[in-house]
Amino acid sequence: MKAENTENSGHYIHRIKYNRRERLVGLFVFSALVLFAALFFISSKSQHLFEPHIRYYMEVETSEGISQGSSVTFLGTEIGTISKLELAHGRKIRVALDIYKSQRELIRTDAKVIVNRLISLGNALVEIKVRSSDAPVLPEDSTIPVEETPSLNDLVLGIARIVQSTDTSVFSEIAEMMPRLEQTVGNIDIIITQIATGHGTLGAAVFDQQVERELKQVVTSGAEILSETEGVIDVAKQRLVELEPVISGINQVVNDFKGTTRDLPRLVAELEKTIALTNTALQQVNQELHHLPGIALDVRRTLTGAEKVVEGAQAIWPLSEVIQRPENQPLIPPQPLHD
Amino acid sequence: MIKINVFLPDISVSCLKIIFLTLILAGCAMQQSRPVIIEDAERLNNEGVRAFQEANWYRAKQLFSKSLLLYQGLDNQQGILLSYINLIEVALAAGDFQAAEKYLINVTEINQAEGLKRHRRRINLLFSKLAIKKKQFAKAQQFLSVLLPEFDGIKPKSAPDLIQLSAIANQTRLAFEQNHEAKLWTQRYERALKVVDVDAGAFQGLLLRFQAKLLLRENKFQQAAQKLQQALAVYKASLIQPGIAATLSDLGQLYLEQGDWLQAKHYFARANVVLRYIGKRDKIIINTEKLAIIESKLGHVERSNLIRRWLAERKENQLMQEKKYLPLLEGKDFLRSD
């Protein structure tokens, strides 16, 4: 940049002269600014930065999974965002939905918001559904009715509560049965002892002395076995009491396992489908791989062509002024010996 | 297939179309396209020359070897000759005289068989360089005699070209080695350099070093040191690393002869760093031997002994490596065209 030294020739800006390189730099800077502005324009369009919106409200039981900036969808397409959450009367959360003005026609008076918290942990899908497209358009600032699904956490807690109550009732019934069973076994024991000692009508009327003696022996041993059995039952009872918490745990595990295995056939079917799809995909990939060497050659040829085009572009003004092409020198020039 | 929906204003699309059209037109305006293999081989040679100028001998050798293979695949004798000449220059610069000799034999055979006269003088120059390196001075003289221009006293009768200028430089070097007419040849070299329109720091730096040697013979240490500093500046400006290393070694030698041990040590150490970068082990060993002497003169006996032990180990290792790898290298000579 040069300024001529002529005095009194007006504002200094009129005396500045730019050389070709400075003009070229200016051109590049200006192009960069234009490109930046264009990209900003495109980005603002895709992100609805400056698009006006219409506000609606909904009232939910809990704000779990809903946050400021979350998308509001209609048939899977984003039509707005959640802009505000505040506490409302009746222990509810009032949520403001900003719908893009261009999508306003979609929100009819029979619209309903579905807050689906089962899609993923921590995030809810806020979707607007409309029954009829003939219904009038919902006025601004209206409150749209909501249908909420419980969160995954709530579901798990509910299931756990059910399992817990079931286990307690079963074991209390077993505990009630145990004393009665013990009484019954005691009664049988008394009867057998009476027979063994020859007392009672059965012992005296039916058997003679010899048979009585033999029978006594048999019954005595039976009584011994029974008393031993009683001990075993006592021990078993004690063990059962001790096992109660373990069984309770097993019960829970079994229930969990049942819950898990319920979906197993479906999962297996899906897995089979996935494997079949993967197989097909692999076959296709395999076929494509056969073409790879050809593709590589084509790519190389294309790149060579592109290189030539770029070299050609570099050879013309204004790039030729700036980019210095390396000199072609296929032979090392004659050299003296340095050492 | 992934579909990308990008909103572009119509005006941007039009601008892009204009830019692409310009580029395509520019591409079409280029010179006629040539076979890709030939272009690849030339590109490899060009890159090799750049690597050589950066003193990257290993990469230069790789690139020239690849280009040689491409030219051999096309039976392009002219290209083969070019690659061989480049490989010889690399081998000489790297101190691999065996390889240089082998390539020179191949080049001579090709040149004779094809009757290519174009590179005969260059081949003779290469032979002379190899002979000087191997201390075969009579043989070197023989090759140089056919290259040197005629002189009228110290003035060349005609303007020498680059090959003749290199021959004069080599002849001057030979004169110093043989201690015969060194002053005359230095003057002739100086005069020839003035006549030749060449912007080469390599030739200028070498002249200054020759002049410094002459001054040293006249015991003009101060002036010799000045000349060497000038040579160093010239080499540095032209980024000629072998020249920088050689001048630093010359300065070290100058101070060693004067008994200025500290200065000598300083320059030899600097020379070794540059030599290590360009991979000239033989020169490092020569300089290090001198460093061992300097350390003992400075009274650093332990350090001097340490350097001597290191040198002995290096020499032993080198010998063992040569014994181990030479037969392998000889068996895998894939560069020969026959």
DSSP A20-44: HHHHHHHHHHHHHHHHHHHHHHHHH
Burial of B334 (0-12, 13-18, 19+ CB in 10 A): exposed
| Closest chain B CA to residue A300 | B36
Give residues with Cβ within 8 angstroms of B48, minimum separation 6: B59, B60, B63, B64, B67, B86, B90
Task: Tell which of B95, B118, B141 closes a domain.
Answer: B118
Of B24, B42, B162, the CB nearest to A333: B162
B chain contacts of residue A51, beta-carbon cutoff 8 Å: none
Closest residue by Cα to residue A81 from A48, A43, A46: A48
- The reply to whether B81 falls in a domain is yes
Task: Tell which of B85, B118, B151 closes a domain.
Answer: B118
Residue of B45, B67, B286 best to disrupt the A interface, most CBs of A under 10 A: B45
Say yes or no for a CB contact (<8 Å) between A304 and B163. Answer: no
Q: For chain B, say whether A77 makes contact (Cβ under 8 Å).
A: no
Closest residue by Cα to residue B88 from B72, B109, B104: B104
Report pLDDT digits (tens) over B204-249. 999 999 999 999 999 999 999 999 999 999 999 999 999 999 999 9
Q: Cα separation of A95 and A101, whole Å?
A: 18
Residue B1: is its pLDDT beyond 60? Answer: no
Residue with tokens 């048999």: A218
Say yes or no for a CB contact (<8 Å) between B28 and A312. Answer: yes
Range of the domain at B75: 36-118
Q: Would you tell me which residues 13-52 of chain A have a C-beta closer than 8 angstroms to some C-beta of chain B?
A: 38, 41-42, 45-46
Of B23, B86, B165, the CB nearest to A332: B86
Higher pLDDT among residues B115 and A18, named by residue: A18
B chain contacts of residue A316, beta-carbon cutoff 8 Å: 22, 26, 29
What pLDDT shows up at residue B257? 92
Burial of B336 (0-12, 13-18, 19+ CB in 10 A): exposed
pLDDT category at B194 given cuts 50, 70, 90 is confident
Compute how many other C-beta atoms are within 10 angstroms of the C-beta atom of residue B236: 15
Of B6, B85, B240, the CB nearest to A42: B6
SS3 A133: coil
pLDDT 10s digit of each residue in chain A, 339 long? 444 444 455 677 677 777 888 888 889 899 999 999 999 888 877 777 778 889 999 998 888 888 888 889 998 888 999 988 988 877 889 999 999 888 888 888 889 999 988 877 778 889 998 888 788 888 988 999 999 888 777 788 888 777 776 656 666 766 777 777 788 778 877 777 766 665 555 555 455 567 667 767 877 887 888 888 888 888 888 888 888 887 777 778 778 777 777 788 888 888 999 999 999 889 888 888 888 888 888 888 888 778 777 777 777 766 777 776 666 778 898 888 887
Q: Cα separation of B82 and B118, whole Å?
A: 11
Q: Cα separation of A207 and B163, whole Å?
A: 144
In the A/B pair of chains, how many CB contacts fall below 8 A?
A: 99
Is beta strand A146-148 parallel, antiparallel or unpaired with respect to B151-152? Answer: unpaired
Is beta strand A71-74 parallel, antiparallel or unpaired with respect to A123-129? Answer: parallel
Closest residue by Cα to residue B155 from B206, B189, B200: B189
Residue of B54, B84, B89 best to disrupt the A interface, most CBs of A under 10 A: B89
**Lowest-pLDDT range, A255-259, B252-256, B307-311?**
A255-259
Structure-derived torsion over alpha carbons of residues A221, A227, A233, A234, reported in degrees to the nearest 10: -160
Residue of B24, B49, B133, B272 best to disrupt the A interface, most CBs of A under 10 A: B49
What pLDDT shows up at residue B199? 65
CATH of the domain at B283: 1.25.40.10
Of B52, B163, B246, the CB nearest to A332: B52
What pLDDT shows up at residue B23? 62
Q: Cα separation of A35 and A43, whole Å?
A: 12
Residue with tokens 């000759």: B81
- The reply to whether B319 falls in a domain is yes
Q: Cα separation of B206 and B198, whole Å?
A: 14
Are A167 and A248 in contact, with CB atoms under 8 Å apart? yes
User: Does residue A318 have a cis peptide bond before it, meaning omega lies within 30 degrees of 0?
Assistant: yes
Which amino acid is present at B166? Answer: S
Domain count, chain B: 2
Q: Cα separation of B31 and B15, whole Å?
A: 27
Task: Tell which of B93, B118, B143 closes a domain.
Answer: B118
B299 vs chain A: nearest CA distance in angstroms? 31
Burial of B81 (0-12, 13-18, 19+ CB in 10 A): buried
Q: Cα separation of B90 and B56, whole Å?
A: 9
What pLDDT shows up at residue B222? 94
Of A45, A308, A337, the CB nearest to B7: A45
- The reply to whether B111 falls in a domain is yes
B chain contacts of residue A41, beta-carbon cutoff 8 Å: 9
- The reply to whether B61 falls in a domain is yes
- CA of residue A324 relative to chain centroid, distance: 55
Residue with tokens 């005006």: B11
Sign (positive or negative) of CA dihedral A109, A113, A114, A119: positive
* Helix and strand totals (H; E) in chain A: 7, 9
- The reply to whether B246 falls in a domain is yes
Are A311 and B30 in contact, with CB atoms under 8 Å apart? yes
According to DSSP, residue A172 is labeled H
- The reply to whether B185 falls in a domain is no
Q: Cα separation of B279 and B283, whole Å?
A: 9
According to DSSP, residue A125 is labeled E
Say yes or no for a CB contact (<8 Å) between A313 and B23. Answer: yes
SS3 A6: coil
| Closest chain A CA to residue B200 | A335
Summarize the confidence of residues B282-298 as an average pLDDT. Answer: 91
- The reply to whether B93 falls in a domain is yes
Summarize the confidence of residues B152-181 as an average pLDDT. Answer: 91
Give residues with Cβ within 8 angstroms of B293, minimum separation 6: B256, B304
Summarize the confidence of residues B34-61 as an average pLDDT. Answer: 89
B33 vs chain A: nearest CA distance in angstroms? 9
Are B86 and B120 in contact, with CB atoms under 8 Å apart? no
What pLDDT shows up at residue B26? 59
Residue A326 C-beta-side C-alpha neighbours within 13 Å? 11
pLDDT category at B145 given cuts 50, 70, 90 is very high
Q: Cα separation of A181 and A174, whole Å?
A: 10
Work out the mean pLDDT of chain B and round it to a whole number.
Answer: 85
Tokens at residue A75, please?
A: 């048939």
Residue B6: is its pLDDT beyond 90? Answer: no
